Amino acid sequence: MLNDNRKTISIIGGSGFIGKALATSLSKNGFLVNVLTTKRINARPIWMLSNVNVLEFTNDQISISKAVQGSDVVVNLVGRLHSKKGYPWGKDFDEAHVKLVQNMVMACNDQNIKEIIHVSALGVSESAPSEYLRSKYAAEKILEKFKGKSVILRPSVVFGAGDSFLNLFAKLQKYSPIMPMALTKTQFQPIYINDLIEIILRCVNMIKKKKIDTYECVGPEIFTLYEIIKFSGIYSGRKAMVIPLPKFIGLIQAFILEKMPGPTLMSRDNIASMSVPSIATKNKELVFKLEHPTSIHKVAPKFLSKSK
C-alpha cells in the first residue's frame, strides 16, 4: 500500500469500535493521527500509540475547527443506533448524524481541508423506513456543501472482535436457550472490520475522481438474520432455538426492551431499519472491490469462542 508519511488524518468518533481499529492501523502505517472524542477516557486503549493525539471536542463548529486544524483528511465515523422518537427523526440522531456533519463541513471549509471520508450505511434514503437511515441520508446530502472532495462509504453491518452485532447475539444466547426474533429473513452482507479499515486506507491514498465518490462496502457472503443468529450461537458455544416472530410482535418486543434499564439492546427503529436488506445493490460499479474479502466463517469462530 502506498503511504504518505506527511499526511495528518483526523478521525471524528475515533474512540469507537471502528475508530480504535482505524487509529491503530493509521499509526502502524506512519500517518499522524488526531482522534476526536467527546470523552478522552473512551480512547484509553489507543493512548500509547505512536503518532496518535487524542483530542476532546464538542459538537460545534469552533471546537471541531480547532481540532481538525492542519489535517489533510477528516474521517467521520460518528453514528448512533438508538434515539428517542422524533420528527423527522429523534434528537440523538439529529445531533450525531445531522448537526455534527453540518458543523464538520463548516469547520473543514474554514480550515481549507481538502478531503472528507464519511462512513454512512447501506439502505439510506430520504424515504427509508427508519429514522436512523433517513438521518444518515440527510448527512450525506450536507456533504454537497463541502468545498473539497468527499468519499461516502456505505457499509453493511461491521463485524469483528468487540462488535455489537455478532457478539450481541452470542451474549443473548448465553442467557436464554430461546431467541425470539422478528424479520429473521432480512438479508445482510456483513463486512469484516479489517476489510473496512483497508477500504478507508485506500480512500486516503487514492486520487479522487469526482467531488463526491460513493461506495458500498460489503463482505463476500449474504446471510439472513436467522443464519447469523444461529452461527453466532454455534461459534460461541451456545445453541439457542431461534423462533421467528411476526413484525408486529417484534415491535412490541423492541418497545419493551426500550423501556428496560441499562443500554438499549433493540429499538422499534432498529426493527424498521432491518426491514430493508443490508446488501449491495445490483450496480456493481458502486461496490468497493477488495481482492480477498474476509469470510465471516474464517474469523468469527476465533473471536466468538473467546466470549464463552
| pLDDT tens profile 136-155 | 999 999 999 999 999 999 99
Distance (Å, rounded) from C-alpha 280 to C-alpha 141? 20
Mean pLDDT of the residues in the chain:
93
Q: What is the pTM of this model?
A: 0.93
What's the confidence (pLDDT) of residue 11? 98
- pLDDT of amino acid 166: 93
- Got the DSSP string for 12-35? ETTTSHHHHHHHHHHHHTT-EEEE
278: β partners: 188
| Whether 196 contacts 77, CB under 8 Å | no
CATH numbers and ranges of domains, the chain = 8-158+190-218+279-291 (3.40.50.720)
Cβ–Cβ < 8 Å for 257, 264: yes
Mean pLDDT (whole number) for 191-211? 93
Q: Give the pairing of strands 187-188 and 223-224.
A: antiparallel
pLDDT tier at 307, thresholds 50, 70, 90: low
> What is the predicted pLDDT for the residue at 3?
47
Residue position matching grid coordinates 474469523: 299
- 6, 148, 158, 168, 214 from 152: Cα distances, Å: 23, 13, 16, 27, 5
Do 30 and 5 form a contact (C-beta atoms < 8 A)? yes
User: What is the share, in percent, of the chain residues with pLDDT greater than 90?
Assistant: 83
Q: Does position 2 have pLDDT exceeding 50, yes or no?
A: no
